[in-house]
Structure 1
């Protein structure tokens, strides 16, 4: 038997609250993408082995899952494609969940992806990556009851799931710069934020009164305006850690460049360095051209590409 799991990238638009006194924390907003993606194939075998890029990371996930479920894996894992690590596109979560889904399906076990995610330390903060693995689309998750690390991680519940308009696309602007924060460094930042209730008030108001209605009404201009506001306010959470709204000095100029070229909304996904612009067929080529010209003008390597939303979550193919 062979199981092939394709787990798609996501954009993280921002957090709704990081002040515990206001209520649940780490609630977040984001959307699933069709590309890039991580693809892992699991084939029945007499023993266990992992091959391909990032095999050490996948082997570690498999070891932790084996302890969680009390099983020795009989599988050959092949990592065929990967999302770039620490790029702001949710690579770690998608790799972890693809590993879990491939192994559990291959061994005929119940694949409760939320239980597996908790066992792999996924969903400690944002739940967007887990939710987009499950269903794709636009996600608003509800967050957690507290900021400190729980003994058992329970991914946050989804408050709003809605298909993202298929004719709304994103231009991904990925400069070849140092990777974003993760792990212990990321945790330290979250615990040193201080009182951020004014930021949370602004984000929650924008999400509820502007972003969600614009999504339901398929008003790309209003959604883009709300998207930019949410991203900017989220950047204010991390001004001290990033040295500004964005983690790279040139990022502010880059997003302004995308807006000037016709993007309806812009932002930095998670810790970056991925920046994005919301576009449609009328504006995507001009925004792509502006992004490439910006890289050239500043002597930067990188990629600029158009990606579509993913409204169906991860795909799991079974071949007997």
Structure 2
């Protein structure tokens, strides 16, 4: 059994205050690459191998605790998303292991049902929805009352147009917040004004999603870019005082803004930055300029990728 799970961009929360009884609300986009690939097979005894295999083992144990079954498994993480880079590595690895185990055990493959047991979907359903079906996803936020473990509901999913490209800007010298550090940082953020939540929801519903549905990259990018600017300012104190957690990515993003690129931002806590572009030629030309301009910064990487409209792939071998 081989499971290939896609990276995703978290484009932003819409309401960190929760004044209407639901908190967060997320917009995200699924990427064609990079990916996490996990191979699972029945074995005489449990074994783990490959990058991030310790986390794969924790996911295995969580699935067993929730669903039962003790069939020994050989689990090999063949490729892993970079950790703490804002691409959803933990969620995709956990869901890949869970999906493979379910298929091997002959159980229904229902990642949403196992998300709570895996400790995923506590704030956002973007990673879960990316795994299940890909595309651009909007979730409805976490209910403040009710099942605390239930992931937020997905309220919209639209395909990424085939011609669009996402320019990823990565920084191997930095890592974004995660785990307890992320929880602590979220708890120290200033109050989120209702007026700002209303504005971000307005941007998402009346500009970002309609532009996406009509294939207008500029309109979608402008809406995402404005959402990102507001959130970057809100998070600034928790990530070094600016809109981006990496100074080098900050430099690149500020240069892109001077070049008229509207759809720029940081995925989750970063350090990965992104730019949303309407054509392969535009993306490749811009990527080439950036590689030349920042050639002396060996920690920076630039890649142009398509959106993923399929979600994860589970293949019987």
Q: TM-score interval w.r.t. the shorter chain?
A: over 0.9
Of 242, 251, 254, which aligns to 1:253?
251
Residues 1-320 of structure 1 mapped to structure 2, 5 A cutoff: 3-146=1-144, 152-197=148-193, 198-242=195-239, 243-261=241-259, 263-279=261-277, 280-297=279-296, 299-319=297-317
Given that 1:40 and 1:77 are in contact with CA atoms closer than 8 Å, whether structure 2 keeps it comes out as yes
Counterpart Cα distance in 1 of 2:290 and 2:169? 7
Distance in 1 (alpha carbons) for counterparts of 2:18 and 2:293? 40
Q: Secondary structure at the match of 2:60?
A: helix
Q: Distance in 2 between matches of 1:202 and 1:245?
A: 19
Structure 1 residues 290, 257: CA separation in 2 closer, same or farther (over 3 Å shift)? Answer: farther
Runs of 4+ in 1 over 4 A off after TM superposition: none
Contact kept? 1:26, 1:143, Cα under 8 Å: yes
Does the Cα contact within 8 Å between 1:90 and 1:129 map onto a contact in 2?
Answer: yes
Alpha-carbon shift at residue 23 of structure 1 (Å): 3.4
- Write the distance in 2 (CA, Å) between the matches of 1:225 and 1:67: 45
Give the deviation of 1:204 after TM superposition: 1.0
Superposed displacement of residue 12, structure 1:
0.7
Q: Is the CA contact (8 Å cut-off) linking 1:13 and 1:30 kept in structure 2?
A: yes
Equivalent-residue separation in structure 2 for 1:300 and 1:6 (angstroms): 29
For the residues of structure 2 that align with 1:249 and 1:140, how far apart are their CA atoms? 29
Aligned residues of 2:24 and 2:124 also touching (Cα < 8 A)? yes
Task: Tell me which moved more, 203-212 or 180-189.
Answer: 203-212
TM-score, scaled to structure 1: 0.93
Q: Which moved more, 1:263-272 or 1:251-260?
A: 251-260
Structure 1 Cα separation of the partners of residues 95 and 179 of structure 2: 17
**Secondary structure at the residue paired with 2:22?**
coil
Measure, in 2, the Cα distance between the counterparts of 1:141 and 1:291: 33
- In 2, Cα distance between equivalents of 1:61 and 1:8: 17
Indicate the RMSD between aligned Cα atoms, in angstroms: 1.8
- In structure 2, stretches of 5+ residues that fail to align are none
Following the alignment from structure 1 to structure 2, what is the Cα–Cα distance between the partners of residues 211 and 151?
30
Kept in 2: contact 1:210–1:226 (CA 8 A) = yes
2:85–2:175 contact (8 Å) kept in structure 1: yes
DSSP 3-state at the match of 1:255: helix
Partner Cα distance (1:251, 1:199) in 2: 26
Contact 1:172 1:275 in 2 (8 A): yes
Deviations 1:175-230 (A, max 9, x none): 22221000011111222223212332221121112111111111111111111111
Question: Are residues 316 and 247 of structure 1, via their aligned partners in 2, closer, same or farther at CA, if it must alter by over 3 Å?
Answer: same
Q: Distance in 2 between matches of 1:291 and 1:118?
A: 41
Residues 153-182 of structure 1: CA distance to partner in whole angstroms, max 9, x if unpaired?
Answer: 111110110111011011111022221000
Output the CA distance in 1 between the equivalents of 2:21 and 2:212: 25
**Residues 171 and 249 in structure 2, CA contact (< 8 A), matched pair in contact too:** no
TM-fit CA distance, 1:70: 2.1
Write the distance in 2 (CA, Å) between the matches of 1:219 and 1:318.
Answer: 38
Partner SS, residue 143 of structure 2: coil
Task: Answer yes or no: is the 8 Å Cα contact 2:42–2:71 preserved in 1.
Answer: no
